[in-house]
Homo-oligomer: A and B are copies of this chain.
Amino acid sequence: MESCVSTAMRRMKTPASPPGTAAISHGVLDDRLGYWTRRAQIGIFQDFFQAFRQTGIRPAQYSTLTIIETNPGLTQTQVADALGIKKANFVALIRELEDRDLVERRPDITDRRSYGLFLSKQGQKLMPILHAASGTHEQRLINVLGENRYRETLENLRLLAASLDSVAVDNPADSFII
């Protein structure tokens, strides 16, 4: 494990720079947590897309399906709040999952004006495949950091997310890289 970290450390001396640009200095960005969180997030998502390629499932869809699987019957608002996704974006996301016949909305037995979200039969069959892809992806991240650094990073990012208001805003910057 240590040699894996050392190898990555050596590569780190010119972070994410292609050959010929090694002399470019990041200036204060070297010490900006937001910059490196965004760069790491993009790298992690690239790896996610690779692991999930054959499923056509994106990160936000996987998270939504997992919340619905773990907590069947929640309302759209409850799932959107739990994930920190804006309601407007979430409605489109659920529609996609309904169109792929992975999620169903069923009326609440006690309040027929209210609809709960459930996995469809097809959704239930897909979940083990998605969790396996997610496990493969996660193991690659553990391999990059080593078990200890992986654990401390996970804990620290959860602490940051819980302490800062992490509900998404509609901001054009969000579609750019940092």
- Chain A residues within CB distance 8 Å of chain B: 5, 8-9, 11-12, 15-18, 21, 24-29, 31-49, 58-63, 66-67, 69-71, 74, 78-79, 81-86, 89, 93, 131, 134, 137-138, 141, 144-145, 149-150, 152-154, 156-169, 171-178
Contact = CB atoms under 8 A, between A and B. Distances in A.
B31 A138 contact: yes
A10 to B, nearest CB: 9
A43 B160 CA distance: 7
Contacts of A82: 16-17, 21, 24, 26
A160 B113 CA distance: 46
A8 B164 CA distance: 10
A156 to B, nearest CB: 4
A15 to B, nearest CB: 4
Given A36-B154, A154-B33, A141 B169 contact: no
B85 A21 contact: no
Given A89-B176, A138-B32, A173-B60, A44 B164 contact: yes
A33 B173 contact: no
A158 B36 contact: yes
B164 A40 contact: yes
B24 A167 contact: no
A50 to B, nearest CB: 9
A43 B153 contact: no
A32 B134 contact: yes
A59 B38 contact: yes
Nearest to A4: B163
